[in-house]
Amino acid sequence: MDDLERKSVAALAWFILVVGIFLFLPAWTLDYWQALCLFGASVTLITWYLWRNDRALLERRVNVGPAAEKEKSQKRIQTFAAAAFISIFLLPSLDHRFSWSTVPLAIVILDDVLVALGFFIIFLVFKENTYSAGTIEVAAGQKVISTGPYARVRHPMYCGALIMLFSTPLVSDRGGDCSCALP
């Protein structure tokens, strides 16, 4: 296993660990492991694809977050984005623990589909744009892309991420009476 492979496996494991902590610890239950499986499987499949087909993009994607940014304003934006991302898991976990609300199973399933759709759009962006790095930068040889998902939307990765992120809270809320936990 080379250095990039070790970094990508470590980043993937870290992502799954952080999501798992913010799903399960506040809820004090493993009832909605499906949300972690959906996120974990999606991120794992995308990482596997990049590992096999676009190692340069994988290397650019491994270095993400506030520490990877060079500009102070981008560090602040990334810090805010990381906190917002964590809250997307934290609030539904607390909701589940304290039974603040319930969500019908049909809505949870619809949101599962929307989260998967958001990840699929992100995957299509990665297939189309090898320069979609984890930080904001312009690389040598980079060109404006107007094919694939870029033919429809100027920033399709943001579109996919917004679909995925806005659907996530309901994916992790399995409702009070509709337990989808393992027997």
Residue-wise pLDDT for 55-97, tens only, equals: 999 988 887 777 777 788 888 888 888 888 888 888 888 888 8
pLDDT at 135: 66
Q: Is the pLDDT of residue 167 over 80?
A: yes
For residue 31, the SS3 value is coil
pLDDT at 175: 47
pLDDT at 12: 92
Instruction: Judge whether 180 lies within some domain.
Output: no
Q: Is the pLDDT of residue 108 over 60?
A: yes
Instruction: Judge whether 26 lies within some domain.
Output: yes
Planar angle of CA 118, 43, 53, nearest 5 degrees = 100
Residues 6 or more apart in contact with residue 89 via CB below 8 angstroms: 19, 22, 23, 35, 168, 172
Residues 6 or more apart in contact with residue 9 via CB below 8 angstroms: 1
Count of residues in the chain: 183
pLDDT at 181: 40
Min mean pLDDT across 26-30, 101-105, 140-144, 173-177 is at 173-177
pLDDT interval class at 126 (50, 70, 90) = very high
Instruction: Judge whether 91 lies within some domain.
Output: yes
The mean pLDDT of the chain is 84
Q: Is the pLDDT of residue 140 over 80?
A: no
Q: Is the pLDDT of residue 182 over 80?
A: no
Rounded Cα–Cα distance for residues 168 and 39 (Å): 9
Instruction: Judge whether 124 lies within some domain.
Output: yes
Rounded Cα–Cα distance for residues 24 and 22 (Å): 6
> What is the total count of domains within the chain?
1
Please name the residue that has the structure tokens 């805010």. Answer: 80
Q: Is the pLDDT of residue 18 over 50?
A: yes
Q: What are phi and psi of 30, to 5 degrees?
A: -105, 20
Domain that holds residue 109: 3-171
How many beta carbons lie within 10 A of that of residue 150, not counting itself? 17
For residue 53, the SS3 value is helix
pLDDT interval class at 54 (50, 70, 90) = very high
pLDDT at 179: 43
Q: Which percentage of the chain shows pLDDT scores above 90?
A: 32
Instruction: Judge whether 183 lies within some domain.
Output: no
Between 99 and 16, whose confidence is greater?
16
pLDDT at 36: 85
Rounded Cα–Cα distance for residues 118 and 128 (Å): 16
Rounded Cα–Cα distance for residues 54 and 71 (Å): 27
